[in-house]
Each structure stands twice: as structure tokens, then as C-alpha cells.
Amino acid sequence: MEQHNLGPEWRHVHQLGRGSFGAVQLYEHIPTQKAYAVKFVERGETIDDAVKKEVINHSMLQHNNIARFKEVILTDSVLAIVMEYASGGDLFSYVQQQRQRRLPENIARYFFQQLISGLGYMHSQQMCHRDMKLENTLLDGDPPKIKLCDFGYSKSSQWQSKAKSKVGTAAYIAPEVIVARSGSNYDGTASDVWSSGVVLHTMLMGIYPFCDLNHPNDEVSTIKRIMSFSRREIEYEPPRHVSDECKFLLSRMLTANPMERITVNDIILTPWFQTNLPREFSLQGVAPSPAESPAQPLNDVYAVLNQASVPRIQPSCSGLSDIPEMHDELEMVTDLTPTNSILGSQDFTGMASMDSLPDGFSHMTD
């Protein structure tokens, strides 16, 4: 395992896992004695627009239910992306570890309220996530608190083009994303609501709502069933054991027509969501506490990213790793993340002003 020297203020602790770009390591920030997760990306051609967009979008988000961005550090060979460390793993693993591999309704609501808090804040900042799923929902503390992560597919409508790429994870992907024609737009916030509905259903049932029970790991079958639902050839069946209020909310979130789908603001107003709503629930951004060091200024982030795209000691010529593609009877869904089986073995997956955005990012599209 290669360890990277981030400077005198940082001490390597151990490896956490591997992400799509490479190893994720745990480091201690010596002056504050705080632990941070650090993702390493090989400098050079690998630092493309997709990486830059992920980092910039993440750096703009400051909310208690979003894993905090701290800074980017450049070494001779890699770009280090430093972010808040969530010690409790992800929600996918948490659900799998339960006796029945599902959560009681009150516990699922506890987590869902926090998920919507973080997602609602993103939407208020005119940003959509586009890959909401259990694996991108980290847990930290006791009792565990939700921390949304992985902003590789996120889109900011204030400085990027509207959502149009077919990205996401098969079990969570909304029908309108699957059928979007080349070059046409879709509402990324509405697709986030669909994916969040899948998260809630899966917490309650221990299985994805549209997977083929005979072939739960078959992404093609899952996509076909989602499309069959959108054509009204099959119906969505909410969990039978939950309250009527919960069933109602699930059916409104998992509505095929995005124009008729419930919004985050309306989700918050439902009686089910309001039950035992934590006092700290908020869609407002929260600045770092006095004990935390402030996030890196946006212009500094931009400067480091530009430097990182230039190879140094070991030039990168491989580019971003290809994400497995999948075909269905309609057309290709690009950048599709493989779906973990909630029934199978576990896998480890690991407020800045928009006016201050550097000019160099204004041209970026999907």
C-alpha cells in the first residue's frame, strides 16, 4: 500500500478502502487531531473536467448532513482530496447488518429525515446529486448521523449545463433518466427524489423496489422493470407492514412522471415526515465550528486543480477508469454504477458564493 506525504501537518493512519479512482486513506490532521478521509487521484490526464466538477461542487456545500470538504493537496504524483471522515461506514452496510436486513419504520424515518435535510440543502443551492443511494450515505457518531458523499455526478444549474447525461446506479435510476434522448435535459432534482424513494423503500424492505427477485443482481432486468412500471405494465408495491402515511409518501416519490412526483419541500410537509422531526432539522448551510479549520478558498481549490492536470513525475496516460456500461432494449445508459445486492455479500464503497466561481469552470457541460 502506497502512502503519500501530505506535508508536516498530516500523519497517515491506515487505508479505508478503494473508490472508483483509487485508494481512500485515513489521515490525522496533527494541529487539530482530527481524522479525515483522503481520496487520491493520479495527477495528469486523470484530472479531467469530471474530477474538477466533483471537487468544485463538493467544496461549495456546507451542511451538517453532507460530508465536509476540507481541501485539495497536490504532491509530485497525486491530487489528494481531503474530506470529513465518517467512522460508521455507509447505510448499505448498516441495513445489511440488521437481523432481518431491513429497518423498523421509525429508524428508517430517522435516517430519511437527515437524508432529505442534506438533499434539500443541495436543491436550495440549485444543485442535484444524481447518484443518491445507500452506499453514498455515510454514518458518523452515536447515535449515527447521515453524511451524504460522492458528488461525482452532481450538477449545479448556476454554473453548469442542465442535467442530460444518463448516469446513476441501476436500482436507483429514475425512468426519465433512462429514456432521455441525446442532448435533451431532465430535472435532476426530480430524479434525486425518485432515488431517495428507492433508498427509503430499501431501508424498510431490505430489497430494491424494482429488482427481479429471481435475479436481484441483474441490472438489465432492473432497468426493464423500471421501464415497465413507467409504461404502467406493472405497479409499484409499497411495503405492506408500514403505515398508510409512509405508503402514501413512497408512492408519491416513486411516481413515473417527474412532473407529478412530489418535491423535497412537499416531502417535508407530509405528516409522516414531520413525526419526531429532530429540532436541528434545517435546509440551511452551516459554517464550520470554531474547532474546525475553515475550508480551502474556492480560488485556491481552482488553482490546485489546474496544477494537478499537469503531469509531474509519473505522467498519467490512462484517463479515468471506465465504468461498466449496460444496454437495454431502449438505448445505452452511460456511466452506470453497478448495483450492490442488498441480499448478497457486502461491498465496501466508500458555502461558497456562486459569484466567486472562477471563470475557467463556466464552460463545463455534462
Cβ–Cβ under 8 Å, residues 44 and 303: no
Binding residues: 39
pLDDT mean over 192-203: 98
Residue 175 has pLDDT above 70, yes or no: yes
Nearest to 323 by CA among 311, 306, 335, 340: 335
- Of the listed ranges 114-128, 149-163, 174-188, the least confidently predicted one is 149-163
Domains in the chain: boundaries: 91-284
Residue 195 has pLDDT above 60, yes or no: yes
Cβ–Cβ under 8 Å, residues 150 and 195: no
Q: Where are the alpha helices (DSSP H) in the chain?
A: 49-59, 91-96, 105-124, 175-179, 188-205, 219-230, 244-253, 264-269, 271-274, 298-308
Cβ–Cβ under 8 Å, residues 128 and 188: yes
Q: What pLDDT shows up at residue 329?
A: 31
Per residue in 62-108, pLDDT (tens digit) is 999 999 999 999 999 999 999 999 999 999 999 999 988 999 999 99
Residue 317 has pLDDT above 90, yes or no: no
Residue 49 has pLDDT above 90, yes or no: no
Q: What distance, in Å, lies between the first and last C-alpha atoms of the chain?
A: 34
Residue 233 has pLDDT above 90, yes or no: yes
Query: What mean pLDDT, rounded, does the chain reach?
Result: 83
Residue 155 phi/psi, 5-degree rounding, is -135, 135
Query: pLDDT confidence of 337, banded at 50, 70, 90?
Result: low
Q: What pLDDT shows up at residue 214?
A: 85
Domain 91-284: CATH architecture, name and number where available? Orthogonal Bundle (1.10)
The conformation of residue 210, written as its DSSP 8-state character, comes to T
CA torsion sign for 208, 92, 99, 241 is negative
Instruction: Work out the angle at residue 58's Cα, subtended by the Cα atoms of residues 57 and 61, and round it to the nearest 5 degrees.
Output: 95
Per residue in 122-161, pLDDT (tens digit) is 999 999 999 999 999 999 999 999 999 999 899 888 765 5
Binding residues for ATP: 39
Q: What pLDDT shows up at residue 242?
A: 97
Q: Burial of 282 by CB count in 10 Å (0-12 exposed, 13-18 middle, 19+ buried)? A: middle
The catalytic residue positions are 131
How far out from the chain centre does Cα 128 lie? Answer: 10
Residue 311 phi/psi, 5-degree rounding, is -65, 150
For residue 143, whether the previous peptide bond is cis, meaning omega lies within 30 degrees of 0, is yes
